[in-house]
Amino acid sequence: MAAASSDIGQPLLTSADGQGPSHDLAPSYNDLSNPQAFDKLNQRLTAPQEVASGPNGSGPSAPPKQTAPEPLTFGRAAKNLFTSTFGFNKIPFSFLFIFTYLLVALVVTPVQVLPPPGDLATDAGYPEKFLLGSWTDLQEISRYFHPYSSHANDIVHDYILNKARDIASHSSITTIHTRDDTRKFLFEEPDVFDPELTGRAVYFEGNNVLVKIQGNDSALGSILISAHYDSVPTAYGTTDDGAGIASMLGILRYYADEKTPPPLRSIIFNFNNDEEFGLLGAQAFFRHPWSNDVEAFLNLEGTGAGGRAVLFRASDYGVAKHYRAASAPHANSIFQQGFTDGYIRSETDYKVYTSNGLRGLDVAFYKPRNLYHTRRDSISGTTYGALSHMFTNALDVVRSMSSAPAGDFNATADDISPAVYFDILGQYIVVLPLDQLFQAQAIGIIAGPIIIVGLLLLVLKTNSWHIGLRGWFRGIISLAISSAAAVATAKWIESKNELVVISQTFSPLLLLFSIFLLTNYFILGFAAYIYPVHDQKLVIFLEIFIVLWGLLVVSTIHISERNATGEYIIPILYIVYLVAVVFGLLGLLFSTTDDLTRTKEEVAEEEESLLNNRYDSYGANESDYDSEAEAEAAAEAAVEATQGVPHSSNAQQHTLADHKTTKEKIQHLASKSLSLDWSIQFLLVVPISAYFVYSSGLLTFEALRENAQEGASRASGVYTELTVVAVVLGALVLPFVHRLHTLVPVVLLGTVIVCGYISLCFPALSYDSPIKIRWIQSIDLDDTAVVNGSVPATVSVLARQGFAYDVLSDLPSIKRDSLPITCRPFGTDDNEVCSYEGPRPYVIDGASKEEAGDYSRWLNVTVLSTHNNVKKKDSVSTEEDFGPFTGSIFIEAKDSRVCSLSFNTTIYKSGDKTASSPVRTVTVFHDSLDDIKEPQPPSNSSLRSSDEDGQTRLPRVTDPDTLKYYKGINDLTVHKLNWTQQGYHLEFVWIPRWFENNSNKDDDKKATSKAIPLQKNENYMATFNSKMDQREKNQQRLINVLDYESDLEEEDPTTGADKKALGIEVRCYWGEYDSESIIGSVPGKETTVRKVPALDEVLEYGPNWVTWTNWAAGLVEVKKYIEL
């Protein structure tokens, strides 16, 4: 057995066989501030040591003669104390970890969660009178529910028009023009949310209020600022979009003020109507000549209920750079990518403006979405500070854009590039072109690995890092296991209390964060104890860098393929990790020569410190020893731990070569891990990265968490986002986590218990965090119950499964009359529709209650005429209808402003993207039913009074609007502003059913049934579309190319469905409920009743954790089916 050396300057304790580290060690001493322990250790270290006999009692195995080491001095003790305090030890790292994360949370959370202050305008230098005026405007606009389909909408329109005229009349310096832009037009547009669904025809009558501030240079393009003044039927529209309207009026006051000089560019204000159901006010703007002068726009919107207005989208860098002028910028291009990728399923007028070639910005309130479109979007639901935030930033940006010189929006090639942007603490904003970010990422993908590999080869060549393959992949394995633990925890919460994310912002996040950190602490701490390596943190830094390099490659591909502007965090993380790795490798290189000049005593100190740190890394207690006996035991253990391994006696040559085994060399080199480079690496990586990850993560979570109520897939998306944020936040300290003080994991474990209980057991819904349920009441005039005297007015609500039934079953009318509630799945995303027969509505006045409730007075559809346009004689000289066919109807909808029509045939139904609609032409006539019944001379003499086939045409009061869309018109929505207008006179041209499917008789369905997928003859359709594009010239040629077979029949012999018939379902909407209808009168008094008692009932008796919103363009719909 080898003799024990009396020298203490030696490597770590090895096992009895000398081949590896011993794990049987007592807790080490690491606190020189304890006098008892210091004295005991000093006495033992300076005492002479006995030398054991060599084999067979032959004496020592040739130990070299050595002198006793110098005793520890105060200077050496102070040096050790400094290393213990600021070295890579538990206490300094744990303190810095806690301090950094608390600081980031305390700095970021108020900006993201708390409402903005009300003094932003005055701080920006604007007199408060402008904001006070806007606040008064907002109060007036929010007085009533004012959807397009309501009389209150006219009140708001008149208020804005009169206010704009009044402001313009007091402008003494700047020329201001106002326009009451009432116009009518018919157009085709794709579905707002599904561009593949084309052929949606809209006839709109709008009444935008336009204002133009004349700029000094009329040759420059104008700046447009836009907001909509209509609300949805169930909301006061304070945030959506009253705040935008009020901000615009405040900006108008600013420019009309005598102290404000005229802008360089003209500024156009579009106070538009009916954004909520089709973005139609923005469409109407492009029918006005002022639209031709616009170069850039700023759209103000609200998709929440208060808070801070965020920069949602920017068309390009050229306009986005003007948002730098905002006094309190709140912006993140993650939202822009959310719109681009279709994750955010709502739209604003920004879509219309950009689709028409304009460049601009989209600024909107974005939370809380569960109050958006409900009656809690009101003055009481917002703040003065929220209006101040939108007004101040909007004015700042408009001033910047309107003062831009010629060519400013196209100053460089980068100006047309998509923009990447984000704010810093709500005070500063970073805006850069996506093209530059793409180039920088491409350089980083190439340069980063070259730098790292070059340094790594140099380090290995100089033997600065004796690493080999030892210890690799521990970071990746730990990251994978801990991420899986976080994902499993998130799935568990989702399965037990899915909607808790609506009410709890921080508990689920802290739970996942703590789970992730604890898992890594145990895995990496255990790995460092069992299998220590030289600089484990650098190993993990390198492994994470490789992961980030892969993510950077993916992000760069996303930029090239779909302009991904929301992944800017990846290159930020990549850069800071690259710098941290470079710093770690350089640190190894610069410390190489130290090993050649250190004395034995210095090496002994490093190795003793490593030994102590090794125990500490897996939970050793660093507190003072409680007694002299405990201090002596620790001292004895420390001395004993340094015995048993021979080393060179030459102090000047104590190098790596003096150690004989590989493990001894690794243990020797591992002492270099105790340098102060860890703190620099920590400060390089953690604070910056934690800020960006937490601020962006909290922003998106606050914006999207209410999406969990819209479906199971939406909820899963919220939990995925939450898990990603927690994992990335925790991964930032992955290289250091094994050095956490024991108390920190204890606190994390307590956090898991508390936050786990909250996430699993706390109620998911409350008054402050309600679930939103969509509501509509429908009357089907074709229901046989109407004929039999019953009046079913079916209420239908849409909600997540498991909520609607419980809410409805507690309504008084349902319990009183024992009304059945039927629920059925809706879609494929865990939603359901529940229906019941509700109290009847009274949306129009009547001389009596019976007359007011007579639904046939609300909606009446009259078929005026049907005929075919082309005839063909068969071989036996009989005529058969060939087509296309023409039919006209008149829709009477009293006190309604909106009706929609959907079409179907035996094989087609509106909305079927696999089929082509047979309707090719729609015409809207501007006359009344009285004009039709009592013909008058047409206003335009060029109009024909009869067709070539001799059929008399209906007289026209004004020129009609006609839309020809030969790909097929799927549906039609018609609007009217005039409340006294009787209704809509419409004409359709459609192709008969046999043309679309010349066979497959057995598959025929009645027009009223669900359509089957179209199985068309491609040759016929290609020929037809080609000919129809030639308009009137195609008719005779169509006859020549079609293979008209004798199987054409008037009706299907099995179903009786008319093959030439066009089915039309008409739905008309009423959007008022917070008022009364007259249902009779006696002298001096009118008898009234609430318009929609069924909605009043759910608002009154529904639980406070539910908010209600409309499910369609109105609250009450009446439908009627006809066939032409």
Long-range Cβ contacts of 818-826 (<8 Å, 24+ apart): 825/801, 826/798
Helix axes 628-641, 600-616, angle to 10 degrees: 120
Question: How buried is residue 342: exposed, middle or buried, by Cβ count under 10 Å (0-12/13-18/19+)?
Answer: exposed
In degrees and rounded to multiples of 5, residue 431 shows phi and psi of -130, 130
The alpha carbon dihedral of 83, 89, 92, 93 has a sign of positive
**Termini Cα distance of the chain:** 109
Q: What is the DSSP letter of 239?
A: I
275, 706, 710, 832: the catalytic one is 275
3-state helix, strand, coil in the chain (%, to 5): 45, 20, 40
Report the DSSP pairing between strands 1116-1123 and 309-314: unpaired
In a 10 Å sphere around its CB, with 0-12 CB exposed, 13-18 middle and 19+ buried, how is residue 1036 labelled? Answer: exposed
Residue from 282, 276, 272, 283 nearest 231 by CA: 276
Confirm if 529 and 617 have CB atoms less than 8 A apart: yes
Strand partners, 880: 872
β-partners of residue 269 are 211, 225
Q: Provide the phi-psi class of 156: left if phi over 0, else alpha when psi is between -120 and 50, else beta.
A: alpha
Its sign, for the CA torsion 756, 757, 760, 765, is: negative
Cα separation of 381 and 239, whole Å?
9
DSSP 8-state assignment for residue 53:
-
Beta carbons of 729 and 513 less than 8 angstroms apart: yes
Token pair 């601009």 in the structure block, residue: 360
275 is catalytic: yes
- Please state, in angstroms and rounded to a whole number, the distance separating the CA atoms of residues 889 and 709: 41
Q: Print burial letters for 816-830: b (CB count within 10 Å at least 16), e (below 16).
A: eeeeebebeebeeeb
Contact between 1068 and 891 (Cβ < 8 Å): yes
- Token pair 């949370």 is found at 105
Distance between CA atoms of 773 and 799, rounded to whole angstroms? 5
Sign of the four-CA dihedral 713, 714, 720, 724: positive
Are the CB atoms for 566 and 334 separated by under 8 Å? yes
Residue 853 CB-half CA count within 13 A: 19
Find, among 435, 276, 287, the residue nearest to 356 by Cα. 287
Partners of 506 in beta bridges? none
Structure tokens at 564: 């991904």
Q: Distance (Å, rounded) from C-alpha 412 to C-alpha 433?
A: 11
Q: How far is C-alpha 824 from the chain's CA centre?
A: 29
DSSP state of 129: H
d(CA 199, CA 973): 12
Alpha carbon 994 to chain centroid distance?
A: 46
Q: What is the DSSP letter of 909?
A: B
Taking CA atoms, 802 is separated from 289, 500, 833, 1061, in Å, by: 52, 15, 10, 42
Kindly list the strands in the beta sheet with 961-964, ordered across the sheet, starting from the edge strand earlier in the chain.
859-868, 885-893, 983-990, 919-925, 961-964
C-alpha distances out from residue 287 to 220, 270, 360, 869, Å: 21, 12, 19, 33
Catalytic sites, residue numbers: 275
